[in-house]
Amino acid sequence: MVTMETNLHKSVFQPHQCLPENQTGRDFLVSDLHGHRARLDTALLELDFDFNHDRLISVGDLIDRGPDSPGCLALLQEPWFWSVRGNHEQMLVDTVREQSDILWRRWLLNGGGWVLDQPDILIRDWALDLAQLPLTLTLDCLGRTLGICHAEYSGANWGQRVAGSDQQAVEWLWGRSRLKQHNNLPVEGVDWVFSGHTLVPEVQILGNSVFIECGAYLDNPLTVLDLQQWLLER
């Protein structure tokens, strides 16, 4: 188990983040990377991504299972990259913060073994960075309001995210009920809500919830949506 002193319990955490409309470039949304930095770099090259004007927003789960978790974590330092927190980021944060053998084993069983080759000080720094990632994000795009949440948004209204309970936070990170129950009820107060986490054979829409995780870590396609183009087609 990673053993280190941290101040994670003292870190300032904003559970929600808002991004203004991108007036000079495009916005892209990427599904769970799970350590596949090279596949992302290839996709951005094919999309002619403009690193000075375009933005890339992630639905979380940057790490574990794939070959280059450190490379994906390095994205957090890029000015063009934004992300919500996924359940795999939460496992890293929980393991470092709680110093629990149970949490350590859970993370290892879910793809965290790559961390065994990393120095403690680097793991601590990653945990501090990941603890700052929001659980939900609101993005303005072409005059519409888009929500980003890793697993699913469980509330009836997007405005409820501001006062979300601990149970709701768990659902935002781990939940699968909307897909399992084929729940088509729309989330009020937002035009679309995008999530990853649960494997779908192709991008799936239920009400105004959009699920984009096709399983890049299983050698399935890495989903990268041009949000402006996606909205224009609807």
* Residues with a known catalytic role: 88
Burial label, 220 (beta-carbon count in 10 A; 0-12, 13-18, 19+): middle
Q: Which two tokens stand for residue 181?
A: 């129950």
Helices 87-98, 101-109: crossing angle, 10 deg rounding: 150
* 3-class SS of residue 171: helix
Q: What is the DSSP string of 63-83?
A: SSSSS-HHHHHGGGG-TTEEE
Q: State the DSSP code for 127.
A: H
Q: Which two tokens stand for residue 225?
A: 């949506």
* 3-class SS of residue 159: helix
- As a whole number of angstroms, the distance between CA 186 and CA 184 comes to 6
